[in-house]
Structures are given as structure tokens and as C-alpha cells.
Amino acid sequence: MLNTRIAILLLLLLTAGTGWFLQRLSREDDAGRALKAHEPDYYMENFTQSTMNEQGSLQHRLTAELMLHYADDDTTELVHPMLDVYNEAPTPWHVKAEKGWVSANSEVVLLTGEVHIWRDGKNGERELDVLTRDLRVLPRERYAETDKAARIHSPGVLYNAVGMRAIFKEDRLELLSRVRGRHETQSENS
């Protein structure tokens, strides 16, 4: 009878221990799944990232009010990003957007919402102003494109188009379709 009671007690302890162990494994599995979910693993406020070329010259600088990194796919989301693209010209191209997304290898930056692109001349006056939406940027190639409407303004010139390519390294914009322009000339008497 005593052996039976001891055996029942050991069986109860073994059952309770197994239940506790299985519950603990389930919690660890849930925690592992939560880490793999698309949730930020870290963030930065007032984020800045500068990229240099092989000669040590600044190629581009990316800033944002808030940067969120996601471990599950190694992507980054940006709030109010700004990208400055440098080339041989004395002043950089500036690209500002509402939101942004950076691919895992940083080869693609998607700037979403309203996008403002501009460049100032040597004297600090605005040389070129572009308003568009949803811009795809390849920072290493210093290239950007959109299939949305674009409004391009520079002194004396206003263009509207659908679709645009910006080849920053060549200081060139290509307007893709439905291009309409207006050129203003100054009269000699003014």
C-alpha cells in the first residue's frame, strides 16, 4: 500500500513537472515567434547616415526624424526622410519626403507621399524645384524615378509631366510622358 502511494505521488509529480516544462517551451516558442514578427527591434530619433565613395568623398547623406529597423527582413522605415545626393557639382541635390523605406541591402530607397526635390545654385538661389510623389531611389547609382505626376520649376521655366527620371550624377532630369511646358522670357524693357 505504501509502495502504491509512493508510486502515485511520483506519477503526480512527474505529470506536474511535464506540464510545467511543456508550458515553458510553449512560452519560449511564442517569444521566438514574436521576435520573428514584423516589429521594430530598434529605432533612432534624428537619424543620420552618410555614405562615402572609394576616394572618401561624400556620396549621399540620409537623415530622418525617426528610423525604425525590422530584424525579420532587415528593412528600415523612415519618418520625414531627407536624402542629399552629392556629385561633382558644387551643390547637392536634396530630396525630402513624408515617409521612406530602405531595403535590406540599402540598394533601394522608396520615398512615399509628397516628394520635394530641389537644387540650389552656387549663389544659394533655388536653381530647380520638383514636386512629385512616390519616388524610387537607387542611392549608389545616384538615380531616382517615379511614374507619378511631376511639376518642375526653374527660373523662367515650368514643366508638368507624368513620370520622371532623375540622373543625379549627370545633373539631368528626363520627363517621360504628357509633358507640357511654359517658358517665360524677360522683356528687354524691364
Q: Give the separation between CA 135 and CA 45, rounded to whole angstroms.
A: 23
- CA-based radius of gyration for the chain: 28
User: What are the extents of the domains in the chain?
Assistant: 1-37, 40-183
Q: Cβ atoms within 10 A of the Cβ of 97, count?
A: 26
Using DSSP, state whether 9 is helix, strand or coil.
helix
pLDDT category at 69 given cuts 50, 70, 90 is very high
Q: Which fold has domain 40-183?
A: lipopolysaccharide transport protein A fold (2.60.450)
Q: Residue 51's beta-bridge partner residues?
A: 60
**d(C-alpha 89, C-alpha 87), whole Å:** 5
Residue with cell 572609394: 54
pLDDT value of residue 135: 96
pLDDT band at 187 (very low <50, low <70, confident <90, very high): low
Q: Residue 37 class from Cβ within 10 Å (0-12 exposed, 13-18 middle, 19+ buried)?
A: exposed
- Over residues 87-140, the pLDDT tens digits come to 877 789 999 999 999 999 889 999 999 999 999 988 888 889 999 999 999 998
